[in-house]
Structure 1
Amino acid sequence: MPKKVDRQERRTLIADALMRVAADQGLEAVSLRHVAAAAGVSSGMVQHYFRTKDEMMAFALDVVRDRNQVRVTEALARLGEQPPPRLLLRTMIATLLPLDEHTRADGRVALAFLAYTAVRPAAASALREETAQLVGFIAGLLPGRNPDADAAGLLALMEGLGVYLLGGQYTAEQALGALDAQLDLLFGSSARA
């Protein structure tokens, strides 16, 4: 009797290998052959689950996105019912920042994918929609006269801090200090929890 294979499990195994290759060697090293070697499977198996590098990259980004969602959901649940907006935003952003080795690995993949989409508009279309939704969510939590612009700025700060953390220019303490300073500008320093 043939062994039953969990398609999603295999795709995730391959995506994890892709993330290891991208995190360790950079996106330019990501190829079907390198990913297959990192996953301990044949190139043919990788091609069975992903016809192109774009498909493989998109799936890996989905895996990172899912992991981030789980981390954010768990972190926000620890805040209890109806946390203040400033605390909710700080917790969400701090959870998404690459502050430790585990989140740095995911952050390197996300950054590599962003660079990848800069020259592939079709691959970036899903990111545009997600970004607009995230800006809308954040804007709904912000006080002030221009919450959409403030939300876009806060999201840009988060991305910039992520790049500086990944590049080693900022420590976790510096990044969280910059985040707190921006939140103080938006909410007032008296709103700190």
Structure 2
Amino acid sequence: MPKKVDHQERRTLIADALMRVAADQGLEAVSLRHVATEAGVSAGMVQHYFRTKDEMMAFALSVVRERSQIRVTEAVARLGENPPPRLLLRTMLAALLPLDEGTRNDGRVALAFLAYTAVRPAAATGLRAGTRQLTEFIAGVLPEGRGDAAAAGLLALMEGLGVYLLGGQYPPEQALDALDAQLALLFDPPAAG
């Protein structure tokens, strides 16, 4: 009887290898050959599942996004039902920050993919929809009148903090303090005077 192959498992094995190569050596080192070597499979197998580097990169990013979504879902679930909006946003955004070694590896891949899409905008199609949905969700949680601009600013802060965390310029505590300061401005603005 022929062996049944789990194609999703193989694609994930290859994507994990891609992420290790990208996290350890940078995106420029990602190639079908390097990823195959890291995964312990043939280059032909990698090409069977991913015809192009763009397909391989998009799948790896989807794996990172799925892991991030799981982290956010678990962190928010620990808050219980109907958490205060400010705590909800802080918990979500903190779960997305690369605060430990596991999340730093995912963060390196996500950052590399963002750089990759800067010169290949077509590769960012799925990323745009996800960013729009997250911005709309955050805008809906912010105090009335804050809107999409404040939500986009909060996301930009989170992304910038992520870059500084990955580069070692900020320790986790400083990044979380900056996030808390921005949330305070949005939820408790200084009185006009």
Do the structures match in fold with TM over 0.5?
Answer: yes
Q: Which residue of 1 aligns with 2:187?
A: 187
Query: Letter of the aligned partner of 1:121 in structure 2?
Result: P
Q: Which residue of 2 aligns with 1:27?
A: 27
Residue 173 (str. 1) matches residue 148 (str. 2): no
Q: Which residue of 1 aligns with 2:7?
A: 7
Partners of 1:98 and 1:42 in 2: how far apart? 32
Return 5+ residue gaps in structure 2 as ranges: none
SS state of the match for residue 140, structure 1? helix
Partners of 1:20 and 1:3 in 2: how far apart? 28
SS state of the match for residue 170, structure 1? coil
Indicate if the aligned counterparts of 1:32 and 1:46 stay in contact, CA closer than 8 A. yes
Residue 157 (str. 1) matches residue 162 (str. 2): no
Residue 37 (str. 1) matches residue 34 (str. 2): no
The TM-score with structure 1 as length reference comes to 0.96
Partners of 2:48 and 2:148 in 1: how far apart? 43
Measured after TM superposition, the shift of residue 3 of structure 1 is 1.1
Measured after TM superposition, the shift of residue 144 of structure 1 is 4.5
Partners of 1:91 and 1:182 in 2: how far apart? 14
Moved over 4 A (4+): none
Indicate if the aligned counterparts of 1:18 and 1:60 stay in contact, CA closer than 8 A. yes
Partners of 2:130 and 2:8 in 1: how far apart? 23
Q: Which residue of 2 aligns with 1:79?
A: 79
Report Cα offsets for 1:41-60 as digits up to 9, x if no partner: 01011001110000000000
Partners of 2:47 and 2:126 in 1: how far apart? 23
Report Cα offsets for 1:155-176 as digits up to 9, x if no partner: 0000000000000000000000
Indicate if the aligned counterparts of 1:15 and 1:59 stay in contact, CA closer than 8 A. yes
Q: Which residue of 1 aligns with 2:142?
A: 142
Measured after TM superposition, the shift of residue 105 of structure 1 is 0.2
Measured after TM superposition, the shift of residue 126 of structure 1 is 1.4
Query: Letter of the aligned partner of 2:116 in structure 1?
Result: Y
Partners of 1:43 and 1:26 in 2: how far apart? 19
Q: Which moved more, 1:127-136 or 1:97-106?
A: 127-136
Q: Which residue of 1 aligns with 2:115?
A: 115
Measured after TM superposition, the shift of residue 143 of structure 1 is 1.0
Measured after TM superposition, the shift of residue 149 of structure 1 is 0.8
Q: Which residue of 2 aligns with 1:89?
A: 89
Report Cα offsets for 1:95-150 as digits up to 9, x if no partner: 00000000000000000000000111111121111111111000001114332111
Q: Which residue of 1 aligns with 2:62?
A: 62
The TM-score with structure 2 as length reference comes to 0.96
SS state of the match for residue 130, structure 1? helix
Indicate if the aligned counterparts of 1:97 and 1:162 stay in contact, CA closer than 8 A. yes
Partners of 1:171 and 1:145 in 2: how far apart? 33
Partners of 1:144 and 1:11 in 2: how far apart? 43
Partners of 2:178 and 2:154 in 1: how far apart? 11
Partners of 1:126 and 1:66 in 2: how far apart? 13
Return 5+ residue gaps in structure 1 as ranges: none
